[in-house]
Amino acid sequence: MAKAELPLHAPGTQLDKGYIGQSVPRANAQRLLQGRGSFIDDLRFPRLAHVAFFRSPYAHARIKRLDFSKASKAEGVIGVFDGRSVAEYCTPWVAVLAHLKGIKSPPQHAIAIERACWQGEAVAAAVADSRSQAEDAVARIEAEWEELPVVVDMDEALAGKRVIHPELGDNICFKRELDTGGVDEAFATADVVVEDVFHFGRHTGVCLEGRALLADYNAAEHSLTVYHATQAPHMMQDIFSRHLNIPEANVRVITKDVGGSYGIKVHVYADEMATAALSVMLRRPVKFVADRLESFVSDIHAREHKAKVRLACTSSGEILAFELDDLTAIGPYSVYPRTSGIEGNQVVNLTGGPYRHQKYRAKMHVVFTNKNVTCQYRAVGHPIAVALTEGIVDLAAQKLGMDVAEFRRKNLIPDDAYPYTFPSGIKFEKLSHHKSLNKLLQLMDYQKLREEQLRLRKNNIYRGIGLAAMIEVTNPSPAFYGVGGARISAQDGATLRLEPTGMLTVMCSVTEQGQGTEAVFAQVAASAVGVTLDKVRVITGDTAVTPYGGGTWASRGAGIGGEAVLLAGRALRSNVLDVASQILKADKATLDILNNEIINRLTLETRMPLAELGRVAYFRPDTLPIDFQSELTVTRHYTPRQYGFTFTNGIQASWLEVDPDTGFVRLLKHWCVEDAGTLINPMLVDEQIRGGVVQGIGAALFEECLYGPDGQLLNGNMADYLVPMAGEMCDIVCAHLETPTRQSQLGAKGVGEAGTAGAPAAVMNAINDALAPLGARVTAMPFTPQRILKALGKV
């Protein structure tokens, strides 16, 4: 279909004829669609259009017929489109990474063409003058379906009796095995062997602001501007360019303040690609905002795992080996471009993480199912790995009759053992497990709580203490995605410019998602250059303005983006002093910058305000030596290289009460000690940790996307999908250690995912500690009252 033509959809046509509708010249299409104003008017003054999607009501069904006749006649409708028409403007994608050996996935289209593979997959789009009109048109689309067999259960998917994508041969997207050797011997000689099976319910991000974008194609320039609630503007610039066949330099992605993301908005979504394609097709701006109901069936889900874990140890409590068998389900496609294999891969990499054993064997399968797709979500893989590790560690300590804190003290990697290589091959630069444990026990007054716990048990009040030591991947290098061929930048850049007025403009490729990135950059820049905070303006999230970079993900904002700002700031400071030395005819070594002024380094005497320096440099450079050129704009980039990741560590504790009659859990207090390297803004760090803990508690107690055997999401609304609320939360106490990374001058590590990584395990262990006198144990998250009562034999 030529791009000068607009597809019109004739009613009643069949997909097996190879088309739905026909193409007609744009001018005729405009008249046939009874557009508002003439064809020429619409080209000169294209009005904003809104798109709504017709989504499959079935988890797996072939599209036999789509009838758009009623929808196309609805008020305000500009056009109604199927997958084939959009596919002529937007190429499909396959989400694989070369370093995940053997990973596979079928091509995914912006709008499904022949069949829908999960309930909620878009199969048609209606574009209208308003969102409500587009939704009315969607309601008038008539469809005929052929229901296909549904694969919902993970074990059934692995068995492969029903294969969702026959061309792939089975339902296995990715599998991995790891064996250090010596595992069988370790288990054979161990004094104690414990094992258990843990289940993790899939859940989703429930961001305050839903996914949204506005795509505006300019046909005259063959350019596309996208206002996008995304975490990675440059990644999306590249993807829009390649799949819409527009030169990358002609694509601009603008990301303003985003109302929360948690990893949800770092992926490519088919409906968002379709929105951009429709803008190109219609040559006008098109807007899409996911409402809450469709977010539940289209925003990525995460963390659906079933894992068996074993631990071998001596009678004195020394851990000898871990063994893991993990099965995880990801929906019908691997999510582009980061893939849906990373979460399971992280579980393999991180299980057993804080401990000094050297024998480890793991196998992991990632399988396709007919549910919504899953992918990276806050603390990717960490909550699973930490819960598996800490859950089985507690079980070993219980079997030995050893205090859980002492068991950890005996096995945590010593603080003087670094650099250290973990059995899975990952390398730790410098961690502080023992200092963290000691600080936590002192902070919570551990011994006093144990005494209180014993007293209360005599009165049939069951309280529990749960500990969870953890490691966290932050500041990832190209080893995460770039090595696998993904065009996802591991570096970030910052440009700092001293304005003629003495103001400082900071432009950085990391985006603001509500985590306080811009505040951190302002602090770093002000300190590096020597100006006050009120003189700093920060710009992020605009591919036409900021240097190229990775954006916001994997707790990398301060550690990578902040380092780029620091490097640029120090370079700019030096350049400013070069200018000052020329103006003042003074040795550069005798000058410095403090509080927006050039000062004498020794006496602190003011020599010149920066505003005056800016005036001279920009407007009177003729007064400077002829062989001197001021450079008051500096760009620097940074990416970690020495280690694949900058690991942080920490430990959390939960103190709670379980009512054995109702199964309800009452949170009493939560503690987190975290070592995130150099702390730039302690208040932001504390609130990042608290927010992460709350999100982790949500996974432990409340959140689960429930599916029926027919693949229907049963609780896709805010009435039935439970999220943690303020009234259910307890005080969350934060404390810190600072072990700066030596990979950067700033020394900052990431902290955004630490709370989420450790909280589920701490809560789980606390519940099981409370239930221990009653002979009950729970291992299936979330730990609902019903599951607790079932463990107690009461339902």
Residue 642: its pLDDT value, please? 85
Q: Does residue 196 form part of some domain?
A: no
Question: Cα–Cα distance between 147 and 149 in angstroms, integer?
Answer: 7
Question: Cα–Cα distance between 621 and 708 in angstroms, integer?
Answer: 73
* Beta strands per DSSP E along 182-318: 192-200, 203-204, 212-218, 223-228, 251-254, 286-289, 301-302, 305-313
Q: How confident is the model at residue 45 (pLDDT cuts 50, 70, 90)?
A: low
CB within 8 A of 442, min separation 6: which ones?
none
Q: How confident is the model at residue 32 (pLDDT cuts 50, 70, 90)?
A: very low
pLDDT in tens, 77-97: 999 999 999 999 999 999 999
Mean pLDDT of the 640-655 span: 93
Question: Cα–Cα distance between 39 and 24 in angstroms, integer?
Answer: 14
CATH number (domain holding residue 429) = 3.30.365.10
Q: Give residue 529's domain range.
A: 3-36+491-638
Residue 30: its pLDDT value, please? 41
Clarify whether residues 720 and 683 are in a common domain.
yes
Residue 5: its pLDDT value, please? 36
What CA–CA distances, in Å, run from 578 to 81, 569, 570, 582? 60, 14, 13, 7
Q: Whole-model pTM?
A: 0.94
Clarify whether residues 408 and 501 are in a common domain.
no
Clarify whether residues 292 and 313 are in a common domain.
no
What is the CB-side half-sphere exposure of residue 624 using CA atoms within 13 A? 20
Is the omega angle on the peptide bond into residue 337 within 30 degrees of 0, that is, cis? yes
Final residue in a domain of this structure, among 266, 281, 298: 298
Clarify whether residues 314 and 443 are in a common domain.
yes
Mean pLDDT of the 316-322 span: 98
Residue 228: strand, helix, or coil: strand
Final residue in a domain of this structure, among 603, 638, 673: 638
pLDDT in tens, 428-479: 999 999 999 999 999 999 999 999 999 999 999 999 999 999 999 999 988 8
Percentage of the chain beyond pLDDT 90 is 93
Which residue, among 781, 708, 782, has the nearest Cα to 152 in the 3D structure?
708
Residue 320: its pLDDT value, please? 98
Q: Does residue 161 form part of some domain?
A: no
CB within 8 A of 34, min separation 6: which ones?
none
Mean pLDDT of the 263-276 span: 98
Domain count, the chain: 3
pLDDT in tens, 334-351: 999 999 999 999 999 999
Residues 492 and 552: beta-carbon distance below 8 Å: no
Mean pLDDT of the 600-616 span: 98
- Position 8 pLDDT exceeds 60: no
* Beta strands per DSSP E along 108-159: 115-116, 122-128, 142-147
CATH number (domain holding residue 250) = 3.90.1170.50
Q: Does residue 484 form part of some domain?
A: no
Clarify whether residues 693 and 757 are in a common domain.
yes
The 3-class SS string of 512-555 reads CCCCCHHHHHHHHHHHHHCCCHHHEEEEECECCCCCCCCCCCCC
Clarify whether residues 627 and 735 are in a common domain.
no
Residue 257: strand, helix, or coil: coil
Percentage of the chain beyond pLDDT 70 is 94
Clarify whether residues 690 and 630 are in a common domain.
no
Q: Does residue 213 form part of some domain?
A: yes
Clarify whether residues 700 and 755 are in a common domain.
yes
Clarify whether residues 32 and 95 are in a common domain.
no
Identify any residues that bridge with 374 across adjacent strands, giving them in sequence order.
Answer: 301
Q: Does residue 512 form part of some domain?
A: yes
Residue 168 backbone dihedrals phi, psi, to 5 degrees: -90, -15
Q: How confident is the model at residue 694 (pLDDT cuts 50, 70, 90)?
A: very high
Average predicted confidence (pLDDT) for the chain? 94
Q: What residue type is assigned to position 593 of the chain?
A: I
Which residue, among 650, 673, 647, has the nearest Cα to 742 in the 3D structure?
647
Mean pLDDT of the 160-187 span: 98
Residue 305: strand, helix, or coil: strand
- Position 33 pLDDT exceeds 90: no
Q: Does residue 630 form part of some domain?
A: yes
Residue 733: strand, helix, or coil: strand
Residue 186: its pLDDT value, please? 98
The total number of residues written for the chain in this structure:
795
Q: Does residue 192 form part of some domain?
A: no
Residues 191 and 313: beta-carbon distance below 8 Å: yes
Neighbours of 245 (CB within 10 A): 13
Final residue in a domain of this structure, among 572, 604, 638: 638
For residue 46, give the DSSP letter. P
Q: Which alpha helices (DSSP H) does 116-182 contain, by range?
A: 131-139, 154-159
- Position 14 pLDDT exceeds 60: no
Clarify whether residues 113 and 10 are in a common domain.
no
The number of angstroms, rounded, from the C-alpha of 352 to the middle of its chain's C-alpha atoms is 23
Is the omega angle on the peptide bond into residue 476 within 30 degrees of 0, that is, cis? no
Residue 479: its pLDDT value, please? 82
Question: Cα–Cα distance between 577 and 574 in angstroms, integer?
Answer: 5
Residue 197: strand, helix, or coil: strand
Residues 328 and 202: beta-carbon distance below 8 Å: no
Residue 646 backbone dihedrals phi, psi, to 5 degrees: -100, 105
Question: Cα–Cα distance between 497 and 208 in angstroms, integer?
Answer: 34
Q: Does residue 737 form part of some domain?
A: yes
Residues 702 and 723: beta-carbon distance below 8 Å: yes
pLDDT in tens, 520-573: 999 999 999 999 999 999 999 999 999 999 999 999 999 999 999 999 999 999
Clarify whether residues 223 and 366 are in a common domain.
no
Clarify whether residues 89 and 24 are in a common domain.
no
Question: Cα–Cα distance between 194 and 211 in angstroms, integer?
Answer: 44
Among 26-35, 262-271, 467-476, the least confident range: 26-35
For residue 167, give the DSSP letter. G
